[in-house]
Amino acid sequence: MADNESLIASGLVQQGVSVTRRMAASLPELRNIAESKGLKIHHLGAGYPHPDVTDPKGFLVHKQAFFDKLAAEQGLNDPETTPEFLREAFAYTDTLGPRLPRELFAQIYGADWNLDINPDQLIPTVGATGGISMVCSLFERGDQAVAYLTDAPTYAGFVARASLKQSSRIFSVDMDAEGPDPEQFLSQIHKARDEGYFLPFYYTVPDGHNPAGISFSDKRRGEILDIARKEKLLILEDAPYLYINYEKPENRPRPFIAMDDEQTVHLFTGSKIGFPGPRIGFVYSNAKIRIKHDQSVLLSKLLLTEASSEILFQNPEALYGFAALLHDPALEPRKSLWSVAESKMDVYFENRAILLDTLQQELGAYGDHFSWTIPAAGFFSVFTFLDSNVRADETTVANLVSEFGVVVVPMAEFYPADAQQRCAGAGLNQIRLSFCFSESAPGKRADDMRSAVSTFCVAAKKLSGIS
């Protein structure tokens, strides 16, 4: 046994745990300290959908009505007979899952973004995170050292997955308010390839960027897409907040997949506009990959093979539940997913307004000390301390919980290693503020959000020495 253990251990390296996971693990102890001092816990850290928009009671009634409709359409009104769809929903299924949810999603999502989506190229995933893992795994199967291009900062879940392969390396691109720097984007592509890495894709969250709290401009998307085309680099577009958008419809930028579905690999998740628990997602692309000098194949075919090796059987009952969500209250197929998002947006619009208004009211007079981003989509704003003596590291963040009851996440560890090498202390003066979640009792959400942001403002002023 000892020999086997040493043999296994020799091939493994301890992986770093993402900052969000570490904060979640440390929260119970910090919560106990805060509550022992009589402090209320204020959540400005978690990027979770709010309980007010994920109450399943009404959905369960709606889903049952949809299931009853399917049974009637199949001509099986005998309660002793199990409809075919219901058998399928609780049985082994193909890796693509049942066809109905894919057909409905292709029709509705395609109409929203002017896309002709082939349902047979929609591959179910375990949320967008499952899609990230699947795409990474596909390109890691060769012998060549793999590198990934991403933003600085970037989603911690992507860094955690991309770092699993010991020989892989992340090359990052700094951002401004419009998105990644195009010149550095191109130079990082060349640098990775000059150093002998296979660079398959650029990963990003262009709408409601997690954690940067920005959305890429149309102009910047076009510049990045042009470079990607010329350099034959795929864009892996993570789109959890595509419908959590605060801009007027005419001002909303198009996702990369709508600009070029042959250059983009698109990750959809239903967690933010539906329910997070079922972990419904899809990966979609019309890209072709050259596998030999004279042979190309659809990326979706390779991903389907990858999916069948990772998750042979999808969860068909959850996918049928998602199909119910794609029907309106009259059980007719929806014309758009924006109607699903609208009920959620009332909550997030108000929470965002409370965050931004309270920051302006309480800290607006101290523009030489603080700044923050104005999110056009998503759940996050990045708060920056402009005083060089304030260090927003994990120790500071832990003290915010224990001394003020305020839970936030430090930005520094969202920056890949090469970004920290380019700029010592990258993100160490920044905190990610989330305005999406609270543990409020019904009717208390807005009051809790105001209290949370106001308490954070008090803490921020104390950190900066403002009485």
Closest C-alpha among 293, 251, 287 to residue 266: 287
Q: Is the pTM of this model over 0.85?
A: yes
Q: Which stretch of DSSP H or E encloses residue 303?
A: helix 299-310
At 344-391, the pLDDT tens digits run 899 999 999 999 999 999 999 999 999 999 999 999 999 999 998 899
pLDDT value at 220 more than 90: yes
pLDDT at 294: 76
| C-alpha–C-alpha distance, residues 242 and 344, integer Å | 13
**CATH topology (fold) of 93-325:** Aspartate Aminotransferase; domain 2 (3.40.640)
**Domain-wise residue ranges, the chain:** 16-53+339-463, 93-325
Among 3-17, 28-42, 289-303, 400-414, which stretch is predicted with the lowest mean pLDDT?
A: 3-17
| C-alpha–C-alpha distance, residues 190 and 382, integer Å | 30
**What is the DSSP code string of 52-84?**
GG---HHHHHHHHHHHHHHHHHTT---TTSPPH
Which pLDDT band, with edges at 50, 70 and 90, does 18 fall under? low
pLDDT value at 170 more than 50: yes
| Contact in structure between 274 and 322 (CB atoms under 8 Å) | yes
pLDDT at 93: 82
pLDDT at 17: 54
Q: pLDDT > 90: what percent of the chain?
A: 64
**Which one-letter amino acid corresponds to residue 326?**
L
| C-alpha–C-alpha distance, residues 96 and 81, integer Å | 26
CATH superfamily of domain region 16-53+339-463: Aspartate Aminotransferase, domain 1 (3.90.1150.10)
| C-alpha–C-alpha distance, residues 384 and 460, integer Å | 10
Q: Residue ranges of the alpha helices (H) in 92-212?
A: 99-113, 127-139, 156-162, 182-194
Mean pLDDT of the chain: 88
At 222-241, the pLDDT tens digits run 999 999 999 999 999 999 99
